[in-house]
Structure 1
Amino acid sequence: MHSIGELARASGLTVSALRFYDSAGVLVPARVDPVTGYRWYTDDQVRPARLVAGLRRVGMPVPEIAAAVRSGPAAAHRLLDTHLRRLEDGLADARRELSRIRTLIDPEEQPMTTHLTLSRTDLAAAVDAVRFAVATGPDLPELTGVLFDVDAGGVQLVATDRYRMALARIGADVDGPAVRALVPAGFVDETRTLLDTAGEVRLAVGDGTVAVTVAGRTLDAGTLPYDFPDHRRLLRAAPGGPAHRATVDVAALRAALTSPDAPVVHREHGGAALPVSVLGPDGRGGVRLYGEDELTGDAPRIGVNAGYLLQALDAGGRGQLVLELDGPIAPLAVRRPDDTDAFSILMPIRL
């Protein structure tokens, strides 16, 4: 048996950290002296303690550390991959913010306009993938445009109306600092009409302005003066991945959703009965619609607005798409099987 001090020296954890992980149920001593309360650990607990110490050093949240200690190798590796993506996203966010701050510190030394050269067809596909999710009402003006989030490798387009969110990323030749611009929906629509012509696209994003040139024709506009919400928070995957991932035939799912006989449940919202389409596993690796009498049990199910889902299927632009379900309170993800950078998520309706 090892005393708590011996395990601390062997693992790299402090004594106070071992006490904390005991209280959190992550690393419980093999024996606790009933009189002194002193903790004792076995040889088999040295390796898990070292694992905890390493995960603690890289900032993994305690619930995920606990899951990694209890899991087999495959599940533990998935947890590591998820946390690594989280760290990489955080570093990318920090780089973008520091680049923006540099322009505020010394605007004369930093170029204030970022120029991009990109594929016309790629930009058209990206606009088509996200445009449906732009908000239309006046109550949330910060959502009435498309976010152009530019970094050294390209640009990500993001749109949301709070009930769904769509994203698409395309590569580009970029000259200038990272920049974020909230582009008015009307300007995005005008730009889309130009993208059916020939030629490459030149995009310029400056301090409060955006301009696009296609085939010798230039459009320009002011960007929206609002802060777009932190969309990356929703994109950080839960540990272990979705509970159910299914490749679906878009035409078949569309037919099922629009059929007069489609199962629908009703939930009250704003004093009215709201029709809800409930998706869940079909037992054959796909998904199907569930009725009111099928909402018990452990299978992952999610309620969504059928109209929103139909729009997401259309924006997917493929005959087959991948749906990811992770239970009744997690968003539904709609992905292209051949393009991980273009997808949408739908907020669930409480069942």
Structure 2
Amino acid sequence: MDDGLQSIGVFAARARLSAKALRLYDRLGLLSPAYVDELSGYRYYRADQVERARLVALLRQLDMPLARIAEVVEADGAEAADRLAAYWADVETRVAGQRTLAEYLRGRLSGRSSEMYGKFEVGTVDVAEQVVLTETRHTLADELPAWIGASLERLTAAARECGGVVGAPFVVYHSEVSMESDGPAESCVPVADEAAAREWLARHGRTWETRVRVEPAARLAFTRITKAQVAHPQILAAFEAVEEWPAGRRLEVAGPCREVYFADWDAAGPEDAVCDVAFPVR
């Protein structure tokens, strides 16, 4: 055995870690001993492994997932720093969202719900029956925005072969979409020609859970918001404002909630693009 190796006890003291932590890092593949005695099972480390051991411990204090810790410690110099920066940017985005959610919940718990809902102007609109080309998916909240954009792009391209798009695209939430609940959600694009849409579907099969259906005429209770308000929990407050709308107490919710997007949604800025959040009512 190399005389330059240190026992796990000596190495743990130098790295300011416990032997238990070193065994965990070994088991996780983050820091393996330089040598393991086959007979005794004793672990030995090199002095130049101290820096890696301390780095792993510090990254663990950031609540960094083990897989991302491995990416950082295996990278070199600037790349490792960039990986850490990317992780921390994700953390700050998540914490900012949680901070906003906490403020929203404080308002609800303190009885200020009506004050929050009063920020939204709610009305009703009658929507005629329409043929829609749809795509349905079970998805969690973190994947939802990307899927909505991609699915509506696919459906819009298909609609051009079915007489064109004849109404605002919308997404129906058949059940809650959150980090614990995966819906499903259904992207919908109104098309001009039902026969052409069904022919298109027959040619393309059921890729992406696509289908054609007739959306019945309905009265929608809705409020209009900007793209900047779509982030959770602002959009949650908008939906609840529609549900708690005073006039809505004389109406009965008749279907799942939805978001209706307008033509300039993707191109416009966060304060200019608008969508309706709505419930069918009767």
User: What is the TM-score when the length of structure 2 is the normalising length?
Assistant: 0.46
Structure showing the higher helix proportion among its residues: 2
RCO higher in 1 or 2 (8 Å CA, sep ≥ 6)?
2
Larger Rg, first or second structure (1 or 2): 2
Structure showing the higher strand proportion among its residues: 1
User: What is the TM-score when the length of structure 1 is the normalising length?
Assistant: 0.38
